[in-house]
Structure 1
């Protein structure tokens, strides 16, 4: 019988490894701990390679086709906006910057986010940051922590008020509100669906001005999370792509 081989596992070394990467012997037919380790190690190494390639490609673009414009982006949210679960701890931001530098656009980020917080709790900090940050675009991503709250009946009204206050802060600022990714936590499902519907209501009521849009993060597969809530690197890349789709009409044209 065979069990997955791991160099860090003394049991595997004691039995002996084959060139095929498996351990042959009379051990257990399957070891969940070793299998889990191997999967996590493969994911870790693949993520490191992906991040290296991302940064190398971005550096090459900057060298060959230097950016001709800069976009100031304020990222508002909770632990997902912070980047919890990503290899580099920065979440979607480096991926978004990499996508935009391919269009010869530099990105200057301001991050107003805190793990475990709801939109209600973070609204004062977001509004206070606007004068100094002077953002061209504000990306709002709340919903997971909000979904755990017992009453979401006024969520759309509060979100709409936040969007209106941001839009009123500058005649040129644009706002994107994310429809939050669906977690694997069954007890959050109802609340997340309510938040998604509220985002649609808020954005649809403000689309005519051309300064508000939504980004659908519900397309991030649930399996692309490490803990059922926070995305892995692939999930954050997909989030960056969704943000890019949403802000595309507002991006400057390279000179």
Structure 2
């Protein structure tokens, strides 16, 4: 009997940012892999900054070549932080990724995530546009997870978001405690589905929490480049979106923006090719 092959796709969250181990990173997916059973082969293909396009075009082909039994696909936040954000494109890409993995008989792991504006503590008018985008992505992930029979973790509205002890200094990535919590919650879902035979990951950190000074130094080193990129990419559009938000608020028509977003999600899901959906459902049932 061959080992269980677990492959993780996604961005910096799954890459393990916030959970440094030695000179590298670990993260929730690696913690989960160690608890799935003694014969688990784990490959982490997630990369910092990845968007749904990167997962579809680069990570998924590499994952399929490994013939995985279990595939984690947790991505989408970086798409919401780009001026090119398009929920139709995000939906189509995620559908193709899910279909390809499920079509090989792999079990999918998915998650909906908190919006980055709230995590960063942006003020109201600046926070609402990225929050609306993240809600749209989460709605798509919910719908596609159900369509493909994924093991889905609701991680957008959990109390853990408000617990600063679970988060790293950058306010966007979990610290070790947060990564462990994700691993524990995924393990519980997989155990319920009969897909995890090992002991649950420990929720207690293995390493001392970084000192405030170390956290600030790490944040300064990693955050400067991130801020510079977002100032060139997202900030100009975010300011325009915030101005639009304020105009609608003054007119009492903010609900129209939420309605437009919900309509766009429905249209994006309705536009998915039925042939791909049907093939994926058949593949998921075979697994």
Q: TM-score, normalised by structure 2?
A: 0.56
- Classify the secondary structure of the residue corresponding to 2:111: strand
* Pairing partner for 2:57 from 124, 127, 140: 124
Normalized per residue, the structure richer in strand is 1
Superposed CA offset, 1:121-148 (max 9, x none): 2211222213432111000111221221
Larger radius of gyration: 1
Shift in Å at residue 252 of structure 1? 6.3
**Contact 2:187 2:196 (8 Å CA) reproduced:** no
Partners of 1:93 and 1:106 in 2: CA distance: 16
Report how far residue 253 of structure 1 moved: 5.9
Where does structure 2 lack aligned partners over 5 or more consecutive residues?
199-287
Moved more, 198-207 or 244-253: 244-253
What's the counterpart of residue 161 of structure 2?
A: 221
Q: Following the alignment from structure 1 to structure 2, what is the Cα–Cα distance between the partners of residues 157 and 250?
A: 30
In structure 2, distance between residues paired with 1:252 and 1:99: 7
Q: Give the SS at the match of 1:191.
A: helix
Give the alignment of 1:41-120 within 5 angstroms.
70-88=3-21, 89-101=25-37, 105-120=38-53
RMSD of aligned C-alpha atoms? 2.4
Structure 1 residues 193 and 74, CA gap change in structure 2 (3 angstroms): same
Helix, strand or coil at the partner of 2:171: coil
Q: Scaled by the length of structure 1, what TM-score is found? A: 0.62
Q: 1:253–1:225: structure 2 CA closer, same or farther, 3 Å change rule? A: closer
Structure with the largest fraction of helix: 2
Task: Tell me the SS of whatever aligns to 2:39.
Answer: strand
Name which structure has the greater RCO, CA cutoff 8 Å, separation 6+. Answer: 2
Unaligned runs of 5+ in 1: 1-67
Equivalent pairs counted in the alignment come to 178
Distance 1:246 1:157, change over 3 A: farther
Pair 1:206-2:139 in alignment:
no
User: Against the structure 1 CA distance between its residues 98 and 130, is the aligned structure 2 distance closer, same or farther, given a 3 Å change threshold?
Assistant: closer
Equivalent-residue separation in structure 2 for 1:252 and 1:238 (angstroms) = 16
Equivalent residue number for residue 34 of structure 1: none
The answer to whether the aligner puts 1:143 opposite 2:76 as a matched pair is: yes
What is residue 187 of structure 2 aligned with on the other side? 244
Give the distance between the partners of 1:241 and 1:115, measured in 2 at CA. 23
